Structure 1
Amino acid sequence: MLKRSIITIAGSLLVVGMLNSCAPTQALKQENRTVPDTYQGSSDSTNSAEISWSEFFNDPNLKALVDTALVRNQELNIFLQEVLESSTEIKARKGEYLPFVSIGAGGGIDKVGRYTREGVVESNHEIMEGREFPEPLGDVTFGLSASWELDVWKKLRNSKKSAVMNYLSTVEGKNFLVTQIVAEIANSYFELLALDNQLAILKQNIQIQKNALEVVKMQKEAAKVTELAVKRFEAEVAKNQSLIYELNQEIVETENRINFMLGRYPQPIVRSSAAFPDLMPKLIEEGVPSQLLANRPDIRQAELALEASKLDIKVARAEFYPAFRIVGGIGYQAFNPRYLVTTPESLIFNLAGDLVAPLVNRNAIKANLQAANARQVAAVYDYEKSILNGYIEVANQLSKIDNLQESFALKSKQVEALTQSITISNNLFSSARADYMEVLLTQREALESRMELIETKKQQMNAMVDMYQALGGGWN
């Protein structure tokens, strides 16, 4: 009868616990994964992002720089440690739904007052061959203990799955960092080539201006021009000579920016600048927008973080339900070490189970669930934002590539015309059919146009790299 009453009471408590532990429900916010079918009307699924960076870039010097950066870049190595840290969280979460087993030993002594309840009991009991309890009474223990929370509501397993998703999200974050490093090194490398070529053009133009200065000096001696013309040409030469030092400084800073990404102290960057004017940007195949969901690491990172947030809601909701736990232990205990392993007299063991459910003050649990819901909603917006951002980046780069191509063609014509006009203006000036200012302005415009042409070439190469990154290339 007593056993039946206990079972009835336990069952009633379980029902009450279940009724009072019902978690508040809130529908998950669903993410919008839809993207436009195409970028510019093309439906070709060929995608340049599937090409590895080592195949995408042809310059062996650039490849060597990227290879070094992927080994020595400090920011990347820091992130790799964060990835390692995230992987240990999986092991920790996995261990939570396995039994905890520990081994322990202990010892101590205890003396009670003779005129106390315990003292009277001990003085009136004899043990082992008529002897009284030892005074003080020793206590030596040795044994194993175990506890195991039954994962009935999958709280622990969902917690482990969430850790896995967070780990994979961190891996994708590392991949996204790799794409940024590859793109930044490539862009800085092309900038360095452009600066070298602009420096060479500037030196060539200074030589042309020096020759023109000598002509002007002879014209002055012949009284065909005044001292003003000579001074204007001397000022132009001095101005362009000062630009050499500005370009040299930019070259040093660009080299050191690359060295920093390579995790090394300043040193010259090996490069082949002479071929830069003839470089042609690689043709980029953009594929279809839906491929961004699989190719871009930042989008996959946001997606995995979203999945982790959904699992975190399940974990937070499971806190409202009763927790089932089994505890037990086995070992030896005696008042004297020589009796410690006496079996079965010194053998001790226990086995118990308990059920615990939140009943009255559940505000903290509700707050955790509300926070998990808020994080899930934020993760949805972050995922949708990453998709939108990826699509816009590709669309921008497609437009930029087309516009730069047209701009480069027109600037090439401008350079050709102004280069020819230098010879024409010099001939006209020599025959006194043109003013010295026309010669000066023609040389200045020719220099600016050649510098702008190199700048446009650099922008074309950068747009190629940025497009490759925007499509999700560079991490594989």
Structure 2
Amino acid sequence: MLKKTKYISIFLFASLSLTSCKSLQLVKREENKTVPEGFTSTEQNSKDTLNSASLKWKEFFTDAQLINLIDTALRNNQELNIILQEIEISKYEIGAKKGEYLPTVSGYVGAGVDKVSRYTRDGAVEATTDIIPGKEFPEPLQDYVVGVRAEWEVDIWKKLRNGKKAAVSRYLSSVSGKNFIVTHLVSEIASEYYELLALDKQLIRVNQNIDLQTNALRIVKQQKESAKVTELAVRRFEAQLYSTQSLRFEIEQSIVETENKINFLVGRFPQPVLRNASTFNDSITRVISDGLPSQLLDNRMDIKQAELELASNKLDVKIAKAQFYPSLGLSAGIGLQAFDPTFIVKNPESILFSLAGDLVAPLINRAGIKAQYYSANARQLQSIYEYEKTILTAYIEVRNQLSKIENLNKSYEFKAKEVDALNESIKISNTLFKSARADYLEILLTQEETIDAQFELIEIKKAQLNAMVNTYVALGGGWN
């Protein structure tokens, strides 16, 4: 009768669990991995598999000073080192999850003494039991035991194994996250380095213009002495010179701050950053091969991270669903026990062993388990949307940067012609001014326009270099 009741209970537990799971209605949605065939509308680009993201960052960059800075940052950057420790934490969590579905075996040794009261249940039983002389219980009663105990939850529904797989996915996700941080660290250092070169170039241009304006002021003073111009012209030329001299110190301050940004990224205290400003205009904007948009799924570390997070969240749904099913636990133990240390080695009388199994299913707190299940499913849907958003963001970033490179190249070409024309204008205006055929205001206006155009040309060059790096990063390069 007892055995029949036990089987009925097991059947009831299983039926309740399975019925509850079938009653759950969840929103299911598969992620969308489709991307356009190309980044542009031309058929040639849509079929070209050559991708600059396959280049290692040491191959992509050619400036030895920049390469040295990036290499130092990858060793010393504090944020990156923090991420590396998070990866170590994720790695150890895999071992913890793996241990959950393996049997646990523990050894134990114990000793104790027990004196029961005569007026208790155990004391009364001992007093009323017929005891053979010489075989009575010692008082107080000692207890010595040594043995081994094993426990194991049989992973019928793969709850524990899925937990380990989810931990592996999160570990790999953290590795991809680290690689994504590396990519942006490389990009940030390159951007600040090019900013520093641009500031150096601006400082050179400012110093050159200070020399030109100083010479122009000297000439206009001579013109005033010969009564060809008034004091107003002298003051206007002085004001222009003072403005340019003030600009020089602003640039010098920006250089200090940019150097210290780089020093922070490479994990060191403020010090001069080695570079060669003369290479700025000669820096080659590398031709970028964009490859196929589908390659973003493999090259972009943020996409890979989102994909692994999605995989782990899918496993979390399976784990939450398994909470409704009965869990089977097994336990066993074997050892030696006696009330006298001399008896503990006497076999088989001192041997003890146990073997038990239990089947447990939730009956009361099912609402809480349902809430966890729905929550896990909501996180899974959230990760699907995050994954699709990451893919869309990556594609748009590449498309924007490719367009930016093309338009900046055209802009640089015309701005360089403008600077050349203005430089010639300065020479012409100075010659005309000396022969009293041009007004001093024309010289001032030409000099101001030339400085502005020179600075704009430097900014465009810097933007070209940054666009090149940003495209490389957007395609998924920079972490290898």
- The TM-score, its normalising length taken from structure 1, stands at 0.97
CA contact (8 A) 2:325 2:361 kept: yes
- For these two proteins, the number of residue pairs brought into alignment is 472
Deviation of 1:132 (Å):
2.8
Structure 1: how far apart are the matches of 2:180 and 2:72?
18
Deviation of 1:38 (Å):
0.8
The match for 2:37 is 37
3-state SS, counterpart of residue 286 of structure 1: coil
3-state SS, counterpart of residue 139 of structure 1: strand
The match for 1:377 is 381
| Range with bigger deviation, 316-325 or 229-238 | 229-238
The counterpart of 2:322, out of the listed 304, 318, 321, is 318
| Range with bigger deviation, 388-397 or 359-368 | 359-368
CA contact (8 A) 2:26 2:374 kept: no
Q: Does 1:215 align with 2:219?
A: yes
CA contact (8 A) 1:48 1:471 kept: yes
The counterpart of 2:440, out of the listed 430, 436, 442, is 436
Structure 2: how far apart are the matches of 1:260 and 1:362?
53
Q: Which runs of 5+ in 2 are unaligned?
A: none
3-state SS, counterpart of residue 353 of structure 2: strand
The match for 2:99 is 95
The match for 2:158 is 154
Deviation of 1:27 (Å):
4.9
3-state SS, counterpart of residue 278 of structure 1: coil
Q: Does 1:329 align with 2:325?
A: no
CA contact (8 A) 2:316 2:376 kept: yes
Structure 2: how far apart are the matches of 1:127 and 1:183?
88
Structure 1: how far apart are the matches of 2:105 and 2:201?
70
The match for 2:392 is 388
The match for 1:417 is 421
The counterpart of 2:5, out of the listed 6, 9, 12, is 9
Q: Does 1:57 align with 2:53?
A: no
Deviation of 1:125 (Å):
5.2
- The TM-score, its normalising length taken from structure 2, stands at 0.96
With over 3 angstroms needed to count, the CA separation of the structure-2 counterparts of 1:25 and 1:340, relative to structure 1, is farther
The match for 1:250 is 254
With over 3 angstroms needed to count, the CA separation of the structure-2 counterparts of 1:142 and 1:435, relative to structure 1, is same
Q: How does 1:108-127 map to 2 (within 5 A)?
A: 108-124=112-128
Deviation of 1:326 (Å):
0.4
The AA in structure 1 aligned to 2:36 is P
Structure 2: how far apart are the matches of 1:36 and 1:429?
61
Q: Which runs of 5+ in 1 are unaligned?
A: none
Deviation of 1:126 (Å):
7.6
The AA in structure 2 aligned to 1:369 is Y
1:187-239: per-residue Cα shift (whole Å, max 9, x none)?
11111111101100100000000000000000000011111111111111111
Q: Does 1:28 align with 2:28?
A: yes
Structure 2: how far apart are the matches of 1:338 and 1:202?
99
Structure 2: how far apart are the matches of 1:179 and 1:128?
84
Q: How does 1:255-334 map to 2 (within 5 A)?
A: 255-334=259-338
Deviation of 1:165 (Å):
0.7
With over 3 angstroms needed to count, the CA separation of the structure-2 counterparts of 1:182 and 1:129, relative to structure 1, is farther
Deviation of 1:128 (Å):
8.9
3-state SS, counterpart of residue 281 of structure 2: helix
The match for 2:74 is 70
Structure 2: how far apart are the matches of 1:276 and 1:313?
54
Deviation of 1:280 (Å):
2.1
Deviation of 1:16 (Å):
1.2
RMSD: 1.4
Structure 2: how far apart are the matches of 1:417 and 1:246?
27
Deviation of 1:103 (Å):
1.4
